[in-house]
Amino acid sequence: MLRVEHVDAGYGDVQVLWDVSFKVDAGEFAVLVGANGAGKSTIMKTISNLVQPSRGEIWFEETRLNGIPPNRIIDLGIAHVPEGRQLFPEMTVRENLELGSLTARAKSHRKQSMEWVMELFPRLRERQKQLAGTLSGGEQQMCAIARGLMSRPKMVLFDEPSLGLSPLLTQDIFRLTHQIHQEGLTILMVEQNVKQTLTICDRAYVLTNGKIVMEGKGRELLENQEVKEAFLGI
């Protein structure tokens, strides 16, 4: 469904990604793991075209993503739940969600989508009038995920959804991403919470210094000695 082929990318004169290739099949739950600053978020941003690759190609289904303006990516069915939530802090939860459904397709289903995400996250229904900036971290993350889902995507990019969340909330988020996956969405997730992520994912890629150094089934990698050393501190 998503193919990233030999991509180099970076910010200005700083190159961050080096010849990155990987793929995500339809219906799959794929995970990127790697240290801070390894370039995981940069990969996500490159897929969303927020960062332009200087080399290589990215394909989504039959569409070549290179050169498409970043704001058109969502039309193709890719939703990006960015690192650090990136909510619109001075707008209400409801408004944030509405802004998730600006594409023509999503707009026509706005009511149903709203119902759907409120079912998924009952907490958001309670807080729909609250300004997003005043939500607790966990609630903010829920709001960000829900906002992503409002576009009725085929695939969701989750960038560290458990960032800054208490273990309890982290559990919630994992349960929810799992549930969304069960509902048929393709997921590409970046997580620091390596162990837990590797446990639930179908496929995983390990990123070090902007290069994919390893790939495999989640559980296989969990057993891998290098991974254990690098990410689990064992």
Residues lying near ligand ATP in the complex (CB under 6 A) are found at: 11, 14, 16, 34, 36-42, 83, 160, 164
**Residue 39 or residue 53: which is nearer to ligand ATP going by CB?**
39
**Residue 122 or residue 164: which is nearer to ligand ATP going by CB?**
164
Binding status of residue 41 toward Mg ion by CB under 5 A: yes
Q: How far is the CB of 62 from ligand ATP (least distance, A)?
A: 27
Selection from 89, 67, 63, 69 nearest residue 147 by Cα: 89
**Residue 182 or residue 234: which is nearer to other proteins going by CB?**
234
CA 209 – CA 153 distance, rounded (Å): 30
**Residue 85 or residue 127: which is nearer to ligand ATP going by CB?**
85
**Residue 40 or residue 127: which is nearer to ligand ATP going by CB?**
40
Beta bridge partners of 30: 188, 203
Q: What is the contact mask toward other proteins in residues 60 to 79, using x (rule: CB under 8 A)?
A: ---------xxxxxxx----
| 152 backbone φψ class: left, alpha, beta (φ>0; ψ -120 to 50) | left
Instruction: Please answer whether residues 89 and 129 qualify as being in contact, where contact means their C-beta atoms are separated by less than 8 angstroms.
Output: no
Binding status of residue 55 toward other proteins by CB under 8 A: no
Cα angle value 93/99/105 (rounded, 5°): 130
Give the residues lining the site for other proteins (CB under 8 A): 12-14, 35-38, 48, 50, 69-75, 80, 82, 86-91, 95, 98-100, 102-103, 107, 137, 147, 151, 163-167, 192-193, 195-196, 208-209, 229-230, 232-234
